[in-house]
Amino acid sequence: MIKHLRIDNRLIHGQVAVGWQKYINAKAIIICNDKVAADPIQKMALPLAARGSKVLVFTLAETLKYEKENPDESIFVIAKFPQDALDILKSGVKVETLNVGNAAPIAGTKYVMVTKSIAATKEDAVIYRQLAELNKGKLTSQIMTSMETIDFLSALRKAGL
């Protein structure tokens, strides 16, 4: 089962490598994004950013296969984009916690800053609402384990999305 599914387009950084992995008590971090998994430089560099933690850089299909083959393992998955997380949930895989982490603005998009560290477009907002529907109507955001959890759907509404 996926114990924690985090949406974070920065992928692995200090908050994830130090804080979240220990908090989740996962044996490995899985980066789930087809383009990242096809990039040999990212596949080499991302494990280096995790400070000795096991990092698997997988496509969606590889992530789902790993989860199926390791049902008793507490799995921590980082989805680069909301669509990656939606594809995971649509597959029927059980996810204990779904968290919107960081979403840096993407140049050339019409984004709105939903929080200080999360940018979203109207298209992203549609996907976030679909994620909430598949997650019992709930979608939260928590940047670091020591920070307060916020209702991300409320944050989207406040931002005009």
What residues make up the domain containing 71? 2-158
pLDDT at 48: 85
> What pLDDT, in 10s, does the model give residues 9-64?
999 877 777 788 888 888 889 999 999 999 999 999 998 887 777 899 999 999 99
| SS3 (DSSP) at 1 | coil
Single out the catalytic residue among 13, 112, 129, 159: 13
Eight-state DSSP code of residue 148: P
CA 19/CA 124 separation, integer angstroms: 26
Tell me the average pLDDT across 87-100: 95
List the CATH number of the domain containing 22: 3.40.35.10
Residue 4 is among the residues annotated as catalytic for this protein: no
| Distance (Å) of CA 22 to CA 15, 16, 76, 144, 159 | 10, 9, 10, 12, 32
pLDDT at 16: 75
Q: How many domains does the chain have?
A: 1
H-helix or E-strand spanning residue 152: helix 152-158
